[in-house]
Structure 1
Amino acid sequence: MKKAALALFLAFTLNGCATSHYTSGRDFPSANVPSIVKGKTTASDLKTLFGEPFAKTPVNETDEKWVYTYANGSAHAQSYIVTMKVTTTGTQKTLDVLMRNETVINYTFTDGPAPGSSTATE
């Protein structure tokens, strides 16, 4: 009986779990992306539609890259006596905008699962 109680105690103490949540960037309204018109949408229009960009990078004397990005998710680790299972889930969206003289000349938008969302067992 003592061995069974000890085995049960060890099973509970060697078994554990942890969950971690994360966010990165600044959330922005994806529904406004179709409102962007190349050659017409201005820097002021973008700020009205999405707010300030997460990052601005000069490309040359007339061009600048604006980046709107947001990611959120969680990681859950379940530890067993001999193995560990790790599950990560999340979403990520990025809007890259190329500005020339304060006007949009090109943009790309991606939205989907965050890279690395998966389940792994070790």
Structure 2
Amino acid sequence: MKSLIMAIGVCIALSGCATSHYTAGRDFSSANVSSITKGKTTTTELKSIFGEPYAKSAVSETDEKWIYTYTNGSAHAQSYVVTMKVTTTGIQKTLDVLIRNDVVINYTFSEGPAPGTTTATN
């Protein structure tokens, strides 16, 4: 009986779990993307709707690229005596805006699972 209790105690001691949460960028409303009108929406309007972009870069003398991005997720690792299970979940949103002379000329929006969202067992 003592051996069984000791074996159970060793198994509990060797198992464990850890969870970590992460975010990158600043969250923005996906519903507001539909308010962008190519050729009409200005940079002032973009800032009032979404705030300052995560990144800005010059594309040419007249064109600029603004990126709004947000990633939110968590990773959970569960260690067993012989195996380990890792689960990663999360979402990622990216709004990529091309601006010419302070007016939106094109944009793309994507939303979905964060890269690496999986369940793996070793």
Structure 2: stretches of 5+ with no match in the other structure: none
Query: TM-score, normalized by length of structure 2?
Result: 0.98
1:47 matched residue in structure 2: 47
Structure 1: stretches of 5+ with no match in the other structure: none
- Partner SS for 2:60: coil
Give every structure 1 segment of 4 or more consecutive aligned residues whose post-TM-superposition deviation is greater than 4 Å: none
2:32 matched residue in structure 1: 32
Matched to 1:20, the amino acid is S
1:22, distance to aligned residue in structure 2 (A) = 0.5
% identical equivalent positions: 70
1:87, distance to aligned residue in structure 2 (A) = 0.3
1:2, distance to aligned residue in structure 2 (A) = 2.1
- Partner SS for 2:34: helix
1:102 matched to 2:98? The reply is no
Query: TM-score, normalized by length of structure 1?
Result: 0.98
> In the TM superposition, what are the counterparts of 1:52-91 in structure 2 within 5 Å?
52-91=52-91
In structure 2, C-alpha distance between the alignment counterparts of 1:54 and 1:28, rounded to whole Å: 11
In structure 1, C-alpha distance between the alignment counterparts of 2:55 and 2:115, rounded to whole Å: 20
Aligned residues: 122
In structure 1, C-alpha distance between the alignment counterparts of 2:29 and 2:58, rounded to whole Å: 24
1:115 matched residue in structure 2: 115
1:30, distance to aligned residue in structure 2 (A) = 1.3
